[in-house]
Structure 1
Amino acid sequence: MTASVGAPVVGGARWDPPAAIAVRGTVLLLPGRGEHAGVYDRFGRRLAVDGYAVRSATPETLPGLAADAVAPLVLAGSDTGALRALALAQAVPVAGVIVAGVPWAAPRPKGFLDWDAELDARSACPTHRARLEGDGGFERGALTAEVPPALAAAVDPAAVAVPVLIVHGAADPIAPVAGARELASRLPHAELATVRDGRHDAFNDITHRTVAAHVVQWLERLRADPAAPPILTVS
């Protein structure tokens, strides 16, 4: 596979491992409210360096992307993209799901007073905040929109039979962490990673390096054995 980072594909973007690295699996990424695939360039780059092909996806493009994917195939999503990933995992044969900032049973935000307040809710990372500030394709104010009821209703936790990694900011003001804990308790095979002081965009928050590293560790465990314990233990 040729090395490419953030290269356009039909309906989204792609991040491929360097040519000298064998592909270890495929992650199909579903963005959330207000976002587009390019918002996840940093996250996609980090996973690609460690051998995972990353593709942005939509429910419409997912079947074709899945057909060309190197196993294990994993869905990843943030915000409403997380809900879509969980819903799709009930019908699409995937090996696992990674979700961040999942708005599970989250109340609708009252609205933000200004753009700075929305940025504060999304991320404490100055680099990511600057990225959103200058991104003409990013939709400001989208987090105040209601999560589509049909999307929330499409997720039946008991029907998600594959392993799920939930990454959630402990200080997420959009989707309080209590909802993530409740979701984890209802999924048959879930691991909840709570990010200290983390905000809503957990893949793109100030702790993005730690989060990406944990995602890679989880993917490595999934490749070896979905039921395997952590490869490294600290005592």
Structure 2
Amino acid sequence: MTIVTQTTIPTAWDEPPGGTPRGTLIVLTGRGETAATYQRFGRRLSADAYKVRLVETDLSDLGAARAEIERHLADASLPAPKVLVGSDAGATLAATVINDVTADAAVIAGIALPESATIDGWGDEVEARSACPVHRKVIGEDDGFGRGALSANLPGEWSDLSLPVPEKPVLVVHGDADPVTPAEQVIKAYAEAPAVHRRLVAGGRHDILNDLSHRSVAATIVTFLESLKLGSDLPAIVYKA
């Protein structure tokens, strides 16, 4: 008798055993991405005692993604602060709903905008996404990854998108070498948004959560989260004497 074991890719990560959870991150995937894309990110942030929950964003059914977000936000077993973390179109979704849901804050990473460039061909897409060899290997070996996704247009309801001014703390993290959504487009979109904290990553490409500087980006997110726990005005924890 042969026993076949199926491996399930995690979509949830918890704090280390015995640890006290410090908050919850609801990760919204971008175009083409799957749960496999975020294994490294989920493990890293949960190691810092943040619960991480993944929502795979289906652009053909944004209502379902919104419902899944609401489900996690309503889950009393998940501790506050609850923060949306979006990449690519997931970042667009987080940016458009942050004022309407009960999340405490958002992290907008490599946002996709109506004027974002489309990338044709797998080789060019990999180059546009990330220079990290580990991430390239992950997406290259992921049978579920949506190759060619960066050539897909955003949903029609976002065709004339004007990003709302956030009423809650928002961290925008974007690569200054992103060929999909140039950094200047993002800076312009949030120029008049006092609650937005903008951070550019030197040499960073589109999949900024999974690019060469993923450690520094994760550290920037953790610093934002730790300040958020002290107050929505994000008081400094470590400061220059």
Check whether TM > 0.5: yes
- Kindly provide the amino acid, as one letter, of the partner of residue 35 in structure 1: E
Structure number with greater Rg is 2
Change (3 A) 1:157 1:188: farther
**Which secondary structure state, in structure 1, belongs to the residue aligned with residue 191 of structure 2?**
helix
Whole-angstrom distance in 2 between the partners of 1:150 and 1:188: 26
Matches within 5 A, 1:46-195: 46-57=44-55, 58-68=65-75, 69-109=78-118, 111-112=119-120, 114-151=121-158, 153=160, 156-158=163-165, 160-195=166-201
**Which secondary structure state, in structure 2, belongs to the residue aligned with residue 65 of structure 1?**
helix
Which residue pairs with 1:3 in the alignment? none
TM-score w.r.t. the length of structure 2 is: 0.87
Q: Any conservation in 2 of the 1:83–1:152 contact (CA below 8 Å)?
A: no
Number of matched residues?
A: 223
Whole-angstrom distance in 2 between the partners of 1:145 and 1:132: 17
Give 1:39's match in structure 2, choosing from 37, 41, 51: 37
1:104-142: CA deviations, max 9, x gaps? 353432x42x32211110000000000111000100010
1:45-84: CA deviations, max 9, x gaps? 1110011000012322122211122100101100110011
Whole-angstrom distance in 1 between the partners of 2:159 and 2:36: 25
Q: CA deviation at 1:179?
A: 1.2
Q: Any conservation in 2 of the 1:83–1:155 contact (CA below 8 Å)?
A: no
Whole-angstrom distance in 1 between the partners of 2:188 and 2:18: 42
Whole-angstrom distance in 1 between the partners of 2:51 and 2:183: 29
TM-score w.r.t. the length of structure 1 is: 0.89
1:8-27: CA deviations, max 9, x gaps? 4xxxx101111211010001
- Kindly provide the amino acid, as one letter, of the partner of residue 36 in structure 1: T
Q: CA deviation at 1:185?
A: 1.2
Whole-angstrom distance in 2 between the partners of 1:67 and 1:82: 21
Unaligned runs of 5+ in 1: 1-5
Q: Between the two proteins, what is the percent identity of the paired residues? A: 39
**Which secondary structure state, in structure 2, belongs to the residue aligned with residue 168 of structure 1?**
strand
**Which secondary structure state, in structure 2, belongs to the residue aligned with residue 186 of structure 1?**
coil
Unaligned runs of 5+ in 2: 1-7, 56-64
Change (3 A) 1:155 1:223: farther
**Which secondary structure state, in structure 2, belongs to the residue aligned with residue 124 of structure 1?**
coil
